[in-house]
Amino acid sequence: MRAVDAIMECLKAEGVEVVFGYPGGANLPTYDAFVDAGIRHVLVRHEAGGGHAAEGYAKSTGKTAVCLGTSGPGATNLVTPIMDAMMDSVPVVFITGQVRTDLLGTDGFQEADILGITMPAVKHSWMISDPADIPQAIHEAFHVASTGRPGPVVVDIPTDLSKADIPYVVGQDTPLDLPGYQPKFEGNMKQIRQAARALAAAKRPLLYVGGGAIAAGARDEVRELAEATGAPVTCTLMALGTFPAPHDQWIGMPGMHGTRTANYTMDEADLVFSIGARFDDRITGKLSEFAPNAKFIHLDIDPAEIGKNVPAHIPIVGDAKQVLAKLIPEYVSLDADRARLDEWWERIHAWQAEYPLTYEKSDDSEIKAPFAIESVYEASGGNAIVTSDVGQHQMWTAQRYHFAEPRKWINSGGLGTMGFGLPAAIGAQVGNPDDLVICVTGDGSIQMNIQEMATATQEGLPVKVVIINNGYLGMVRQWQELFWDKRYSHVDMRPEQAPVPDWNKLADAYGWTGVRLEKKETLLEDLRAAFATEGPVLIDVRVAREENVYPMIAPGAAARDMVG
């Protein structure tokens, strides 16, 4: 059969229900195969939108997503989502068309060395030189993307090879040949026991949970361990929802815009148990002054993360779910006295009382952005899937939408990609048709992939987009205010004559419902009504222009020196 038909069969064998993509010259054969394949295809309006939609689908469902693009510019447009998926460990299989083999290396029309361009941004990649290898490459791609530390992979297929006839039988067993790829899941039992004993000995422990816990599906184990130990829990930006925000042991997110309580707890902890987190600079602040009193248990499936930024006193390489399942009974068997944490909790409760998340409330009808997020939380019942873009709105949402379950908070953490939110919401809605999917965005970010409004319309996806509209590139403005003497340079996006675009007209043009919300008194009701409106809705929330995200650790400063 044709190689492209075999690709469709391989996708089906991998359980693929939907593909995000964009056709072009070099992947015409693949698109021909879609006509009869019976696999849903979501036609995006820009390849970057396709990549981020695939990420939103993967992050919200836990399944491996697929994204297609053609050669040359189609492939280079995928570079940002590929890197984004790399930074946030998202399993996405990218399949790109390539020019004919006889044109390779000749600067042919729409030729780009996408394997070379993406090499630093992929977990692995395959260049097809023999069409008979295509089924094996596709299955290997899924295996590598989805196992171990998940990540993006690229399979690049020259157009002539994709048309070739290959010996492939539907349902055939295709062996993988990956001798150099052997992720370790189980964790060393001796290290696990040592970790349990250290936890039992700690008087000021902290569970520091990262995105790896979600990838491993370790929600239940994290909660069990937390309740067994009685330790305070913090989740990174990537892990929000793994531990329920409404919980006695929850102390908020750590890092640059985390809670003071989480940062002070980290600062004074005697033992930090990192579960699938990677001590990013936005968490640690000044590395030399990070958690100065702590010993570290570092559990990660990627050995290279252990000891990369902070020393690991007890390293455990393994899958968070499997390791915690073994560690919990070990801990319980030690009969540790919970009362030893009383003093620690007294200290934490004092911080919580002294430093709640707060902002200056307006005394007129003006909407403050933090209030808008609190209203989104309330109006949506607190259990929507929420995607975000990058900037102030992202941090306000992370702080104030109290996620209770994993895979509900979909954002671009590592790469910080503006333009992620809308396509990610589209992907999340495709994967979760019955859920309320909200994209909280800014008037800057949303314009970076605004064309995907058409995709939502065409696919009948009822996503709700909340624009926290302050007419500024708000986070850049905040940094210029705080660190550059208010010398505002090219951050004002609101020309004097009138805001552009007119969001209601834009909504209208794309077949969406558009609403503009300007009064805090009715905001909650208006949001409720908007979320209950059928079909996609663009909600333009006009907020106070110069609100800052607080609290904040200044870049390069220590957690102890938080401001605001």
Partner 1 sequence: MGDPGTKEVISLADLQAAAAGARTGRKHVLSLVVQNRPGVLVRISGLFARRGFNIDSLSVGPTDDEKKSRITITIDGATHPIDQVTKQLHKLVNVLKIRDLEPEDTVAREMALFKVGVENGSGRAEVLQICNVFRGKVVDITKRSLIIEVTGTPDKIEALEEMLLPFGLIEMMRTGQIAISRGRDET
Angle, vertex CA 170, rays to CA 164 and CA 176, nearest 5 = 80
Smallest distance, partner 1 to C-beta of residue 415, A: 15
**Stretch binding partner 1 (CB under 8 A), from 21-29, 209-217, 299-307, 555-563:** 299-307
**Stretch binding partner 1 (CB under 8 A), from 66-74, 158-166, 196-204, 344-352:** 196-204
Smallest distance, partner 1 to C-beta of residue 108, A: 19
- Name the amino acid, one letter, at 394: Q
Q: Which helix (H) or strand (E) holds 42?
A: strand 40-43
**Any contact of residue 197 with partner 1 (CB under 8 A)?**
yes
**Stretch binding partner 1 (CB under 8 A), from 54-62, 97-105, 186-194, 208-216:** 186-194
**Stretch binding partner 1 (CB under 8 A), from 11-19, 49-57, 118-126, 488-496:** 118-126
**Any contact of residue 283 with partner 1 (CB under 8 A)?**
no
Of 200 and 465, which has the nearer Cβ to partner 1?
A: 200
- Name the amino acid, one letter, at 26: A
Helices (H) and strands (E) counted in the chain, each on its own, are 22, 17
**Stretch binding partner 1 (CB under 8 A), from 113-121, 226-234, 375-383, 486-494:** 113-121
**Any contact of residue 127 with partner 1 (CB under 8 A)?**
yes
Smallest distance, partner 1 to C-beta of residue 100, A: 18
**Any contact of residue 527 with partner 1 (CB under 8 A)?**
no
**Any contact of residue 145 with partner 1 (CB under 8 A)?**
no
Distance CA 449, CA 362 (A): 32
DSSP secondary structure letter of residue 232 = -
**Any contact of residue 261 with partner 1 (CB under 8 A)?**
no
Of 191 and 380, which has the nearer Cβ to partner 1?
A: 191
Query: Within 10 Å of residue 340's Cβ, how many Cβ atoms?
Result: 15
**Any contact of residue 85 with partner 1 (CB under 8 A)?**
no
Alpha-carbon distance values, 554 to 215, 238, 473 (Å): 30, 21, 18
**Any contact of residue 117 with partner 1 (CB under 8 A)?**
no
**Any contact of residue 325 with partner 1 (CB under 8 A)?**
no
Of 141 and 410, which has the nearer Cβ to partner 1?
A: 141
Burial of 505 (0-12, 13-18, 19+ CB in 10 A): exposed
**Any contact of residue 191 with partner 1 (CB under 8 A)?**
yes
Size of the residue set binding partner 1 (CB under 8 A): 40
Distance CA 37, CA 103 (A): 29
Smallest distance, partner 1 to C-beta of residue 314, A: 7
Smallest distance, partner 1 to C-beta of residue 296, A: 7
Dig out the tokens for 306 from the structure. 């252990």
Of 8 and 301, which has the nearer Cβ to partner 1?
A: 301
Of 314 and 410, which has the nearer Cβ to partner 1?
A: 314
**Any contact of residue 418 with partner 1 (CB under 8 A)?**
no
Smallest distance, partner 1 to C-beta of residue 194, A: 5
Smallest distance, partner 1 to C-beta of residue 488, A: 34
Q: Which residues, other chains included, contact 93 with Cβ-Cβ below 8 Å and sequence gap of 6+?
A: 64, 65, 66, 67, 138, 141, 142, 145, 152, 153, 155
Q: Applying CB under 8 A, which of residues 178, 500, 509, 563 lies at the interface with partner 1?
A: 178
> How would you label 350-369 residue by residue, b for 16+ Cβ within 10 Å and e otherwise?
ebbeebebebeeeeeebbbb
**Where in 389-463 does DSSP place strands (E)?**
409-410, 437-442
**Stretch binding partner 1 (CB under 8 A), from 98-106, 166-174, 232-240, 327-335:** 327-335
**Any contact of residue 338 with partner 1 (CB under 8 A)?**
no
**Any contact of residue 200 with partner 1 (CB under 8 A)?**
yes
**Any contact of residue 169 with partner 1 (CB under 8 A)?**
no
Task: From 67, 72, 84, 158, select the one nearest 114 (Cα to Cα).
Answer: 72
Of 175 and 180, which has the nearer Cβ to partner 1?
A: 180
**Any contact of residue 175 with partner 1 (CB under 8 A)?**
no
**Any contact of residue 304 with partner 1 (CB under 8 A)?**
yes
Burial of 106 (0-12, 13-18, 19+ CB in 10 A): exposed
> How would you label 438-454 residue by residue, b for 16+ Cβ within 10 Å and e otherwise?
bbbbbbbbbbbbbbbbb
Dig out the tokens for 381 from the structure. 């019942």
**Any contact of residue 194 with partner 1 (CB under 8 A)?**
yes
**Stretch binding partner 1 (CB under 8 A), from 32-40, 240-248, 305-313, 375-383:** 305-313
Of 304 and 350, which has the nearer Cβ to partner 1?
A: 304
**Any contact of residue 270 with partner 1 (CB under 8 A)?**
yes
Q: Applying CB under 8 A, which of residues 15, 167, 175, 179 lies at the interface with partner 1?
A: 179
**Any contact of residue 172 with partner 1 (CB under 8 A)?**
no
Of 58 and 144, which has the nearer Cβ to partner 1?
A: 144
Task: From 497, 479, 484, 503, select the one nearest 554 (Cα to Cα).
Answer: 479
Alpha-carbon distance values, 403 to 69, 373, 378, 386, 441 (Å): 34, 13, 12, 9, 17
Q: 326 with 189: CB under 8 angstroms? A: yes
SS3 for 404?
coil
Distance CA 472, CA 474 (A): 5
What 3 state SS string does 95-145 have?
EEEECCHHHCCCCCCCCCCHHHHHHHHCCEEEECCCHHHHHHHHHHHHHHH
Chain residues in the site for partner 1 (CB under 8 A)? 115-116, 119-120, 123-124, 127, 129, 144, 178-181, 190-191, 193-194, 197-198, 200-202, 270-271, 295-296, 302-304, 307-314, 333-335
